[in-house]
Amino acid sequence: MEEKVKILKSLADNNRFKIIEFLLECDFCVGALSKRLNLTEAAVSQHLKVLREAGVVWGEKRGYYTHYTVNKDVLKTISDELLKLHEIDRKNNRCRRICQANRKKTISQ
């Protein structure tokens, strides 16, 4: 559970979410992300650190630069967990509707 929360927290920042969107299109280095996001390279590096520590991205050294890639398995896992929550909510809504219908029947009798 702790790992899932760490992943969700890492994605719960607008700039980090944008970084993920860019990285899903193509691998980028800090400098390229910095220009696209209009942030300093230091700020992008800090965001990438959070994402790396959560396992959402990983870096690969290519010459002088490190290019970052999204760990799609982690995104898939967290997506599956959110879908499970949605299913729980959907089932609970169905149960609530049945209970409400039963209450109405009981009251009208």
pLDDT at 66: 97
State pTM to two decimals: 0.78
Tell me if 11 sits within 8 A of 17, measured CB to CB.
Answer: yes
Angle ∠(81,15,89) on CA atoms, nearest 5:
25
pLDDT at 94: 61
Predicted confidence pLDDT, tens digits, the chain (109 residues): 789 999 999 999 999 999 999 999 999 999 999 999 999 999 999 999 999 999 999 999 999 999 999 999 999 999 999 998 888 877 766 656 655 656 655 565 5
Q: Which residues have a Cβ under 8 Å from the Cβ of 60 and sit 6 or more positions away?
A: 27, 66, 67, 68, 69
Domains of the chain and any CATH numbers: 2-81 (1.10.10.10)
pLDDT at 9: 96
pLDDT at 101: 58
pLDDT at 108: 59
